[in-house]
Chains A and B, each alone.
Chain A
Amino acid sequence: MSLELVCPAGNLPALKAAVDNGADCVYFGFRNSTNARAFAGLNFDSETAKQGIRYARERGCKVLLALNTFPQTAQWHIWRQAVDDAVELGVDALILADLGLMRYASRTYPNLRLHLSVQGSATNYEAINFYHEHFGIQRAVLPRVLSLAQVENVVKHTPVEIELFGFGGLCVMVEGRCILSSYATGESPNTAGVCSPAKAVRWQQTPKGLESRLNGVLLDRYGADENAGYPTLCKGRFEVEDETYYALEEPTSLNTLALIPDMLRMGISAIKIEGRQRSPIYVEQVTRVWRAAIDAAKRDAAYYAVTPDWMAQLGKLSEGQQHTLGAYYRPWK
């Protein structure tokens, strides 16, 4: 297994853009709260899913379905139905976070390939091996909290394929456990499939700057020359002890192009690109850069170098137009 490029698809044109520009896998979600990008107008119904799967298959690209939210008791049937529908559609794998759903999927469809979502929040090999032993998961997406050395240690002690996030928006890194959005709106990604539901978001130009509010809570106020970010509580600027700053997290994007040779050496199976909520042109641009970079590293890892052109293209697309190696780069670890 060699470093697959896993790209996001919020709609059919984005899926095609990913396939056409060199994705090895695309991942998508249904049009309901069974996935963590349950935004109005986004995602696939059964007809577009069928078309997308056919398009990808014909071009040698695998299709993964994200069922990465946590069912509530009263709506369990919606998630179960989504598993059944995915099998009917013939996706290559399900990306699951919830234990109950994993049990249902593995018992009902023993041959179905399962991936453990980042929302499952498994950061050590014991946890990953538990999922492997009980539900036969074949791949785990690691939360964005581990250093490269810690990732390598996980890879060495598990038969499960490891997928890492390579590029895209960062979240506050309590993956699968964050309810900040619920604090202000009653809905959060893990339950309702949406962080900062759009109905609770208001943007307003004021004499002091562009204000973003979540259910009335002021998240940020941007000066004329400041780049804006997503209107999430974790990326807001707050007054803490007479100082106003990004008290939780700065709006920034993960960009790990520089780490591809390390990932190859360590035996990482796949790199995930974040952004099902983004437009087809984003998917096209990011996929093209990452395809070129992975191919270059595979040709000759020793002489691999990140080009300024790649960085410029990805930098332009980044939230806050800043990027970071995230937790992967912790030389002291």
Chain B
Amino acid sequence: MANQHPAEQSVSACASNQPIIQVSHLTREVDTGEIRLTILQDINFQVDAGESIAVVGASGSGKSTLLGLLAGLDVPTRGTVFLDGTDIFKLDEDERAGLRGRLLGFMFQSFQLLPSLTALENVMLPLELSGADNTYAHDIAQSWLVRVGLEKRIRHYPRQLSGGEQQRVAIARAFVTHPKMLFADEPTGNLDAATGAQIIDLMFTINREQGTTLVLVTHDEKLSARCSRVIKLVAGRAAD
């Protein structure tokens, strides 16, 4: 779909529903001492609840920066991001962290499991950080690990798991808090094609079941085709 002004288009398309993600004039510049690099320039779009969008682009096009900004892991030079109605850059860093804990789930290319925690403990961690009761956290985490097919690997450490298994743990960890949005950064980047496909299937399945809004950063065309919408970045600008 061709959208020079995606924001406007989305607003008109979903006027009745408030979008769960609303990005306006998002710009990120970096000072490298002498020159000012623009990594993202004037990005505008909206995502409705339950939608799945893919952010694609070549290496260095600003995909990861966009994801970081959407999740409030970084702050923009200009522009706003509303997540579930909240202007996240009006919050301070701690409030953003709290918001992440409530609303967001993450999957990363390098899995980012804590090496000193078992699979179960990795999944329990978000619940524990939100102050959940230990037994509750344990039971929920365990059921999620069963759900992603790792019932036999619960007590294993990340280093004892294969890449595919690690990413399954990451899926369980991402969904254990029932987030409204799942941000996935090249989730298959470190996996072989077959394993990657399994992981993606699992992710999309659970995503559908949970009605989660998915923002997927990838450079895999096939993968992006499975999303309802694609935002293509070229040198920091939204193309197409």
Q: Do A and B bind each other?
A: no
